[in-house]
């Protein structure tokens, strides 16, 4: 029987996709939080000892995974600045391979829209 992925399972899949990408880019993980609505999901450090707070957001396609709440993100960026960290946003779009609007199922192929983490280093004020 086909089992649709729950919201937490979709989030975990997105976390795995982003985590593998960050690791391939050479980031070292300091902390990982896979709970929904708890930010950041990753605290990483680069080879220059710069800390990064990485926010992972999963959306169902055709929603645009690159869109985020700018006002909330600026509040979060202030938190990062207070901790001498930079913020990266990683939007992951997942979808049913065969039928838009249908859920993503466990152990079945899926569509992926992921372009990598975006460094949010432009001040908005």
Residue 108 phi, psi dihedral angles, 5° rounding: -125, 150
Confidence of residue 37 (pLDDT cuts 50, 70, 90): confident
SS3 16: helix
Q: Does any domain span residue 1? A: no
The whole-number pLDDT of residue 81 equals 92
Number of domains the chain is built from: 1
Over residues 110-120, the pLDDT tens digits come to 999 999 999 99
Q: Does any domain span residue 124? A: no
For residues 97 and 109, is the Cβ–Cβ distance under 8 A?
yes
Instruction: Decide which of 38 and 50 is more confident.
Output: 50
**Domain containing 81 — which CATH number?**
3.40.1350.10
Sign of CA dihedral 21, 22, 25, 28: negative
Residue 52 phi, psi dihedral angles, 5° rounding: -130, 135
Round the average pLDDT of the chain to a whole number and report it.
Answer: 93
The whole-number pLDDT of residue 104 equals 97
| Alpha carbon distance 42, 57 (integer Å) | 12
The whole-number pLDDT of residue 125 equals 39
Domain encompassing residue 94: 7-119
Confidence of residue 124 (pLDDT cuts 50, 70, 90): very low
Q: Does any domain span residue 2? A: no
Q: Does any domain span residue 16? A: yes
Confidence of residue 21 (pLDDT cuts 50, 70, 90): very high
Question: Which residues fall within 8 angstroms of residue 83, CB to CB, at 6 or more apart?
Answer: 51, 53
The whole-number pLDDT of residue 1 equals 80
The whole-number pLDDT of residue 112 equals 98
Residue 10 phi, psi dihedral angles, 5° rounding: -60, -45
Q: For the whole model, what pTM was predicted?
A: 0.92
Confidence check: pLDDT of 122 > 60: no
């Amino acid at each position: 029987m086909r089992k649709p992925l729950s919201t937490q399972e979709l989030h975990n899949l997105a976390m795995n996709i982003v985590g593998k990408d960050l690791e391939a880019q050479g980031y070292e993980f300091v902390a990982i939080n896979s709970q929904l609505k708890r930010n950041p999901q990753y605290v990483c450090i680069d080879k220059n000892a710069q800390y990064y707070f990485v926010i992972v957001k999963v959306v169902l396609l055709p929603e645009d995974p690159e869109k985020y709440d700018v006002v909330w993100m600026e509040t979060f960026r202030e938190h990062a600045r207070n901790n001498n960290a930079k913020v990266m946003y990683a939007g992951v779009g997942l979808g049913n391979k065969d039928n838009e609007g249908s859920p993503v199922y466990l152990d079945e192929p899926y569509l992926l829209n992921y372009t990598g983490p975006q460094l949010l280093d432009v001040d908005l004020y």
